[in-house]
Amino acid sequence: MTDHPPAPPPEVILVVDDDQDIARFVEINLQMHGFTVVLAHDGEQALQMVSEHRPDLAVIDLRMPKLDGLELTRRLRADPMTTALPIIMLTAKGQTVDKVVGLTAGADDYLVKPFDTAELVARVHSTLRRNQEYREVSPLTGLPGNTRILREIADRVRGGTPYAVCVFDIDRFKSVNDAYGFGRGDEFIAVLASCLHGSVRAAGLPPAFLGHIGGDDFVIVCAPEQVRAITSQAVEDFEQAADQLYDPIDAERGYLELTDRRGTIQQPKLVTISVGVALSTRRTFTDPREVITVANEMKQVAKNQPGSFVAYDRRRSG
């Protein structure tokens, strides 16, 4: 029997509205869609609820007594603990100025009263998703992270159109960190991200997807016929750019000189790239993690070859 990981806890939505009927309507409908809901009926109560419940999103009515939605939003944005909290503003019908003012104050989206259940739930889901993607972007490269990568591959798996998943990794990257420190290592990662971005843009249509798993690991999801052009250009561009990041003496002799803990001198070669490629045209995948696993297996095959190398999975299903 396989143990399944525990389901994540439901997301907590804070609903702030002085109209108790509307607040209750929103609460019931969000609960029906699996959310945990906490209610507040004015801005001051909402601030207390935020500190107690740490909601994942707030639905805030613009027009309220005491502390209105505008001032509440400003205070939430000014607090480092809540500055990234997604906010949907509720505005009155026909009040275009309210929408503009609410968005200017820092709201992520708005809903015009009266609204139906489907629109409410759709706005909540889309705002949460956008916020999650924003938080998962790599601060070093600005590229989407693991959750977005898996969703991209899952969309390809379901879509039925042929696709390829390419996993990129810098060989002997640890030697760069050991020789020069993590700051220089980050420069190598940023340069690889730039080279991959350039190769994806040059590949044209259909648009390929580029993500950053973490460290020196990247993923490109593209059409099978784009793989050769993308990987060839990325490898060539990176090897040229990486040479400029080494100290001149190291670049000229073609290797680094490192002394290990025992005093032994090591001479690792300069970095290259290993690429593992999984193809939907070779086998049928049903899970995005399975595709990543196969691409990683191929990446390990590539690492056993001299220099930069692209290894394709040639195995077939069944």
CATH of the domain at 34: 3.40.50.2300
Residue that finishes a domain, picked among 109, 136, 163: 136
Residue that finishes a domain, picked among 104, 136, 168: 136
Other CB atoms within 10 Å distance of the CB of residue 104 = 10
Tell me, what amino acid is at 273?
I
Residue 4 lies in a domain: no
Distance, in Å, from the CA atom of 269 to the CA atom of 255, rounded to the nearest integer, reads 4
Residues 308 and 175 in one domain: yes
Residue 34 lies in a domain: yes
Residue 263 lies in a domain: yes
- What pLDDT does residue 4 have? 55
Q: What's the structural domain count of the chain?
A: 2
Q: Hunting for tokens 């990257």 — which residue is that?
A: 173
- For residue 225, give the H/E element and its range: none
Residue 5 lies in a domain: no
Q: What is the DSSP string of 39-75?
A: EESSHHHHHHHHHHH--SEEEEES--SSS-HHHHHHH
pTM across the whole model: 0.62
Other CB atoms within 10 Å distance of the CB of residue 30 = 22
CATH (domain of 154):
3.30.70.270
User: What average pLDDT values come out for the chain (318 residues) when binned by 10 residues?
Assistant: 62 93 92 94 91 92 86 83 85 63 74 86 89 75 85 88 96 92 93 94 88 93 96 96 92 86 85 96 90 95 95 82
Residue ranges of E strands in 164-314: 164-170, 209-214, 217-222, 258-259, 265-266, 273-279, 309-312
Residue that finishes a domain, picked among 113, 136, 159: 136
Distance, in Å, from the CA atom of 92 to the CA atom of 111, rounded to the nearest integer, reads 9
Residues 172 and 73 in one domain: no
Residues 300 and 246 in one domain: yes
* DSSP code of residue 114: S
Q: What is the DSSP string of 133-151?
A: HHHHS-TTT----HHHHHH
Residues 127 and 189 in one domain: no
Domain that holds residue 106: 12-136
- Residue in 222, 181, 216 with CA at minimum distance from that of residue 203: 222
Residues 168 and 308 in one domain: yes
Residues 56 and 19 in one domain: yes
- What pLDDT does residue 1 have? 46
Residues 119 and 152 in one domain: no
Residues 206 and 276 in one domain: yes
- What pLDDT does residue 106 have? 77
Which neighbouring-strand residues pair with 88?
A: 59, 109
- Cβ–Cβ under 8 Å, residues 195 and 243: no
- What pLDDT does residue 229 have? 96
Residues 185 and 301 in one domain: yes
Distance, in Å, from the CA atom of 4 to the CA atom of 176, rounded to the nearest integer, reads 39
Tell me, what amino acid is at 91?
T
**Rounded to the nearest 5°, which phi and psi values hold at 69?**
-60, -30
Residues 239 and 97 in one domain: no
| Contact residues for 6 (Cβ-Cβ < 8 A; gap 6+) | none
